[in-house]
Amino acid sequence: MENYTYSQTIGQEAISNISLRYLKIPSDLPGFINTDTIECGTKTGRRGYRLAGKLQEIECERVCKCGSKLHIHNQHPITLRHLNFGAAFTSITFPHIQYICPNCGLTKMQDIPFKAKGHMITSPLKTYVEDLLFNGATLKSVSQITGLGQNVVKAIDKERLKKKYLINGKLKKPETTAKILGIDEFKLHDGYKYATHIIDMRTGHILWISEGKKKQVVYDFIEFVGMKWMGNVEAVACDMNSDFQSAFQEKCEWIQPVFDYFHIVQNFNEHVISSVRKDEQQRLLDEGRSNEAKALKGSKYILTSSRETLQKKDDEAKEGKLLRKGSEVFRVKAIERTAGHVERYNQLLKENKLFFTIDLVKEKLKAAYATDNEAKMAEEISAIIEICKATKNRHFYWFGRLLFNHFEGIIAHATYHITSGKVEGINNKIKTIRRQGYGYPDDEYFFLKLFDASRHKYEKNIPSQKLLTDETKKGTPHNETLLPD
């Protein structure tokens, strides 16, 4: 610190009225000699500092290929954005020299060692932007922090991702083999535009993303990784999309499709429980039993929930837990949790035979997916199919056919114990990233962001900028910047 004064009142413990005129900080810009610091305003009203100076000339740059010494031909001012100093934006400005050879007429620009390639910013600022993006910051937030335009931030991020995941303009092949794959489609754009991702179920890494949700996606992936790589794959977790299943079996007949508990229960809830409840409600109305039909209103949650979940809700209600907190400021009343879920569920089963069958199928599905014995699971699933047939209800019939047509893939769960957790986790990340970016019209950039997000927690070494150069550590004067307080 330089040029400081202070006054201290006798008897007081604290020092007051401290006035600092200058602070010395390392600029981290090798070859830049700061001669003046100008305080300036910005369009946003934030304080800014402009560091004026010059580049240190290097003798080897003054020599032409022909051996003659280069002379200064011209120079023009250049300004680069630099790292923020606290909340203040910082930029550096200096004359950029053009050399000319008096012998052969060759011209050459002075090298700027700290300029980021392709951008009018310094390399430390570019590294800082990359660090923020790597740690999950959005384009908008990085733009606000650094003062750079969102298009500049996006260009830096896309360049970073392409360098990391592409080689010669093509996607890098997986570094390791995978034993179990997961595949699922997701909504890409409005208007029923979809894309499909394929992941390694062990690590959760996205291996492939392609537009569409047909067989061609699987064909392109197999061509990308090669048959030798696919030889290590034993199973693939997928939903009931027949295109994915048949595409894998066509190209790699040894791969076993596996249908997990989540997708089976999801189909049962949507196509059986919901449909049966609506049919029963309409039947009661047609029979003039409006009170009983009214009692079924709002019962979907109870019918699709497990007994354990309903009992947990009842226990929370007894403990006095709130469903929603109130607010006196906004005149919002608190809502207490209601009890009696299990009691109502038992009453529904008692009054309706189909609802009792629903409960029976739910329990058997749970027991089937809890076993690690494929033969035992086959018995349980076969028993469920027979129960569905015995009801003579079209919705149960549909579910029985679904189990029968996907029988091998369902009972394979006893061997591979695959869950859709990682696949659904990727789907949630996709929604979050798209929402944070307010949509991404650049699909290539969006897909690269998804690749990076799926690997984020496995990155051990976060890239960090080297804050001090060797010259700075030694206290070289030209690497120090004077800033007024």
Beta-carbon contacts of 481 under 8 Å, excluding residues fewer than 6 positions away, are 24, 25, 26, 27, 34, 37, 51
Q: Give the three-state DSSP class for 395.
A: helix
Cβ contact 95:56 at 8 Å: no
CA distance 447 to 297: 43
CA distance 400 to 396: 6
CA distance 161 to 424: 23
pLDDT value of position 27 = 58
Alpha-carbon dihedral sign for residues 360, 366, 369, 371 = negative
- For 70, counting Cβ atoms within 10 Å of its Cβ (0-12 exposed, 13-18 middle, 19+ buried), the class is buried
Residue 119, phi then psi, degrees to nearest 5: -140, 150
CATH of 173-260+420-457, one of 3.90.1150.10, 3.30.420.10, 1.10.150.110, 3.40.50.300: 3.30.420.10
**Which residues is 332 bridged to in the sheet?**
327
pLDDT value of position 459 = 55
pLDDT value of position 405 = 93
- The full 3-state SS of 18-75, as one line of letters, equals EECCEEEEECCCCCEEEEEEEEEECCCCCEEEEEEEEECCCHHHHECCCCCECEEEEE
Q: Is the overall model pTM greater than 0.95, yes or no?
A: no
| Per-residue pLDDT tens digits of the chain, which is 485 residues long | 333 333 333 344 433 333 334 444 455 688 888 878 888 877 767 788 888 888 887 766 777 777 787 777 888 899 999 998 888 888 899 998 888 888 887 888 888 888 999 999 999 999 999 999 988 899 999 999 998 999 999 999 999 999 999 999 999 999 899 999 999 999 887 767 899 999 999 999 999 999 998 999 999 999 999 999 999 999 999 988 778 999 999 999 999 999 989 999 999 999 999 999 999 999 999 999 888 888 888 889 999 999 999 999 999 999 988 888 989 899 899 988 889 999 999 999 998 999 999 999 999 999 999 999 999 999 999 999 999 999 999 999 999 999 999 999 999 999 999 888 888 889 999 998 888 887 788 899 999 999 999 987 655 444 443 333 343 344 434 444 444 44
Cβ contact 394:413 at 8 Å: no
Q: Residue ranges per domain, the chain?
A: 24-115, 173-260+420-457, 262-416
| End-to-end CA gap in the chain | 11
pLDDT value of position 59 = 66
Give Cα 467 to chain centroid, integer Å: 28
Helical (H) or strand (E) element with 390: helix 374-391
pLDDT value of position 133 = 92
CA distance 75 to 139: 35
